[in-house]
Structures are given as C-alpha cells and as structure tokens.
Amino acid sequence: MPAVFVLIWSTGFIVARFGMPHAPPFSFLAIRFALSIACFLLWIYFAKVRWPQSSREWFHLAITGILMHAGYLGGVWAAVKAGMGSGLSALIVGFQPVLTAIWLSTRGAGTENKVSRRQWMGLILGFCGLLLVVWRKLTQGSALDHVNELNVSFVLMALFSITLGTLYQKSFVKPCDVRSANAVQLMAALLVTLPIALIETEGVQWNSEFMGAMAWSVLGLTLGGSSLLYLLIQKGAAASVTSLMYLVPPSTALMAWFLFDEPITMVTLMGIALTAWGVSWVVRSPKN
C-alpha cells in the first residue's frame, strides 16, 4: 500500500504540468472535487456503503477535508501558479514529516506515535535527501527569482494544512469506510474552493491536455491516492506515514525524466538513495 500510494501521489506535479496552463488553480480543483464526489456517490450507491452515523463524525471528516484537500492542494497549486518553482515548493512542503514529529514529541504522544531517536535520524536523512533531489531546480535560479509574499503564503498554507490535517485525522476521525469518508471530505473541500473559483478571472480551456490531467486527477489522485492516504493514516503511526511524503519528489523526478526528458544528475541519484534510506529508518518499528 505505501509503495502504490507514493507512485500515485508522485504524479501530482506531472498533472500540474499538463493542467495548470489551461485553468486557474481553484477552478481546476473545484471541478476535480465535484467530479470526484460524483464518482464516489455512484460507488457508494452500488456498493451500498454505509455513511458516517453521527454529526460528530461528519464534522471531523469535514475538517480533515478542508485541510487536506482544499488547504493543501489549493496552497500548492496557487503557489506554483503565482510563480514559485516546483522544486522550492516541494522542499517547503517537505518539512511536513519534521513538523509532525515535533508536534508528536512536544505533545507526549502515546506508544504508537512516539518518535524514536532512530526515526528522528531517518527524518533528518530523508530531508537531506529531499534537498539533494530538488537542488538542481533550486540552483537554476528560476524558482528563487519568483519568490514573493503571495506564493510563500500559499505554500506555507499548504504545509500547515497537510500537517494539521494528518494529525487531526489521526486524533479525531474514527475508522469508517474510506469511500464515504472521502466523499464527505471532498464535499467540505468543494464548499471552500468553489467560491474562490467563481471569482478567478482566468477561464478554463477545455482541451485534451486539460481533460487528460483532470481525468487522472479524479480517478488516480483522488479516488486512488487520497483513499490510500486515508487508510495509511488510520492504520499507521503519524510520523511513519508522513515520512512517505519524502519519497514523492524523488519519484516525481524519475517520472519527469521518463516523460519529459528532464536530466537526472548524480546529485539527484544520491538524494534519492539518501531519502529512501532515511524513510526506511522511520517506517520500521522503533526499538525500545
């Protein structure tokens, strides 16, 4: 499950490369959420899936949906659309596992979520590997040349949204069917993104690249990737789950090399190896 999740989630930047030139960020996300909700509703109806039974469950799922769908995705897409390079945005969002570990340590987390010394070392190694993976894009200058208060605010919103959303779901969301849970989360996310989409001035260009990106965003990233993330958070320790995010930029770099012939240097390969090594330290059960 973790390997499939990383592969699917890594296609997010590939989708952005195809879809973002043809639509403003929140319009793209609003359409994506609406289509995803429709797919989940059909799935729920024919599979006779049970919905959450209490208003408290609906409330907690709505909060996680706003944070992990509207806040995280909206922040990343808006930051890149506002001029921040994908390398820098990936690096900033890459602080998520460290922030999660810091929160768990300061809050005196239980045995399941306790961060061991070995896991701390793995988090540090993973982040160093992430830095090496995105180093080429950072040193090209294009990302740093377009940093401003707006796109920094967007990417920080994404960082804190995915971190808080992960911790909130682990703490408050009771295990329930992933399909109905995702549907509730997406409904809440749509309520937030749709008003913003309606005031965006740029129009949507319905061409083949946009529709292909949208189709994969709905079927692959939302129905597949988001569902796997929900299950991983429910079944695993928060620090171990979030450390998987370190593997996303290296996987994306390999996909970009295969699809767009983007060069991979020796530094990138060293970063991929270091990231994988660090994550392996985190996901293994900590020693007593």
Query: What does the pLDDT look like over 148-160, one tens digit per residue?
Result: 788 889 989 998 9
pLDDT band, residue 143 (cuts 50/70/90): very low
* Region 81-98 average pLDDT: 76
Query: What does the alpha-carbon distance between residue 95 and residue 246 come to, in Å, rounded to a whole number?
Result: 9
- What pLDDT score was predicted for residue 288? 43
Select from 44, 249, 257, 258 the least CA-distant residue to 126: 249
Q: How far is CA 39 from its chain centroid?
A: 20
Single pTM value for the model:
0.82
Query: What does the pLDDT look like over 96-127, one tens digit per residue?
Result: 777 777 776 666 555 455 667 777 787 788 77
Query: What does the pLDDT look like over 20-31, one tens digit per residue?
Result: 889 999 999 999
- What pLDDT score was predicted for residue 116? 72
Tokens of 56: 């408290």
- E-strand ranges in the chain read none
206 in Cβ contact with 60 (< 8 Å): no
- What pLDDT score was predicted for residue 266? 82
Query: What does the alpha-carbon distance between residue 100 and residue 163 come to, in Å, rounded to a whole number?
Result: 6
> Is residue 275 scored above 90 in pLDDT?
no
Instruction: Say if residue 270 is exposed, middle or buried (CB neighbours under 10 Å; 0-12, 13-18, 19+).
Output: middle
- What pLDDT score was predicted for residue 28? 95
More confident call, 109 vs 41: 41
